[in-house]
Structures are given as C-alpha cells and as structure tokens.
Amino acid sequence: MPQPGPEPGTILNESGVPTTPRQAATVLVVRGGADRLEVLLAQLRAKRLVLAGLTADNCVLFTANDAHLRGFEIVVASDCVASIKPADRARALKHMAAVDKASIRASAAVRWA
C-alpha cells in the first residue's frame, strides 16, 4: 500500500526530504516518515531538540523518549507544553527530566541557536 505524500505546502529538497519542519515528529513517525525526519535532522547537524506541544504526557513524552534513544540532547520548553490534567503534565515533565535526561526550562531560558 503506498504511503501518503507530504501535506500540501511542504517544501521538499531534490531528494524528496521535507526541508521545513512543519509537521510534528509524531506525525512523521505515524506516517512512516521517521527516516525522512532522521535525514533532515542529520542534514541540519542537529544535536539538541527543543520540544513543545500537546500533550506533554503523550506526544511530547514519546518524542522525548525517541530523541533520547537516538542520542539527542533534549530541552522541553515547560511553558509551551500542556496536558488535559495539570497532574499529567507535571508527571510527564518529571519523567522526561529523570528518564530522558531532558532539561526542563521556560521558553525564555531556552538557547535557540
């Protein structure tokens, strides 16, 4: 069965790799495009990933787990993640700090370059 293509408006390089990170990491993984994301991160020579999004106890947490297993430094912008229940958000941030060795900090304290 053919894989669905990129969403309209996604810019691809000559190899067909998205060059604009418009989609969440989890969307790329679900669509079978994890290899494309890895290629993009390698091309960018990314060593550190700053994570933000919904929900802290699901998508952000699993993205952090995957990034940790792949050897990335992880920063979670704590004021840029949320969960339905505040306790779930707190538990996810604590887990990412302890298990994934993520640095949890406010977005104003994130070094973006």
**pLDDT tens digits for range 46-105:** 899 999 998 999 989 998 998 898 889 999 999 999 999 999 999 999 999 999 999 999
Residue 27 CB contacts under 8 Å (≥ 6 apart), including other chains: none
Nearest 5°: phi and psi at 38?
Answer: -60, -40
Query: Bridge-partner residues for 82, per DSSP?
Result: 54
Q: Using CA atoms, how far apart are residues 112 and 29, in angstroms rounded to an integer?
A: 24
Q: Evaluate whether 4 touches 27 at the Cβ level (below 8 Å).
A: no
In the CATH scheme, what architecture does the domain 47-109 have?
3-Layer(aba) Sandwich (3.40)
Question: Number of helices and strands (H, E) in the chain?
Answer: 4, 3
* Domain spans in the chain, listed from the N-terminal domain onward: 1-46, 47-109
User: What confidence category does residue 45 fall into, taking pLDDT thresholds of 50, 70 and 90?
Assistant: confident
This model's pTM is above 0.75: no
Predicted pLDDT of residue 89: 96
Average pLDDT value for residue range 21-48: 63
